[in-house]
Structure 1
Amino acid sequence: MYLWVKAIHLMAVVTWFAALFYLPRLYVYHAIARDKGENASMNTFKTMERKLYRGIMTPSMIAVIVLGIALLALQPHWLSQGWMHAKLFFVVLLIAYHHVCLIYLKQFAEDRCSRSQVFFRWFNELPVLALVAIMIFAVVKPF
């Protein structure tokens, strides 16, 4: 049972990260289109962003959390280990990042996002840092 839950958990993690990497990239292109006054492109981006967030990103995040809890229920001793505390800290940061993405999604949908494409290029890099940390904690278990 454990290996099945772990396999599905990892599939959900990959899907969630794909969306976490792609949505802010859409924001970059949306900001560029906004700055050029390309209304047709902006409407396309609004649709893409909404569908990605609601149809892929959020269900993936929920699956990651539910399956992660299931893994912890199957291996409760992990909760006493420092590497798991560190990993969960970065997961919480990712959940917060996920919700910040929703704030920007709503701002773009209402045509009131004023952040630049440069901001979103940097914003897009934050999940990479979390991914590196989470993978090191989960695989190497340094403490």
Structure 2
Amino acid sequence: MGNNCQVHGAFSWCELLTTDTESAKHFYGKLFNWALEPAPITGLDYTLVKSGGEKRGGIMAIPPAVEGEPPCWGVYVTVDDVEATAKLAVEMGGKVLMPPHDIPDVGRFSVLQDPQGAMISVITYLPKAN
């Protein structure tokens, strides 16, 4: 993830939620020549997607909270303040599908839905240690 992905409003991460992670990794790895590696996340089987040596996204099983939903790709947009963005989305007729919460060692995120029903995730990343 490059530094420009930490700018408010930038698309910064893509994530596949799927029912068959092994098949998905084989398909996308070969299709796009992605480097795939396990993420060091305790208690979660998460695969990092790398392209050009940069982390670009991830692949994981559909979590229990949305079990039964079809596999889908989701995108994350960087925001300065997850809570303020979620509040503004509701004020503008959207919904909060997953309230703001922390991803350890990554940042804070929320899943929103626009008034037409499209979903998008917003995230504020933790500052990087130099």
Both proteins in one fold, TM over 0.5:
no
Q: Which has the higher contact order (CA 8 A, sep 6+)?
A: 1
Larger Rg: 1
- More strand by proportion, 1 or 2? 2
Give the structure-2-normalised TM-score.
0.24
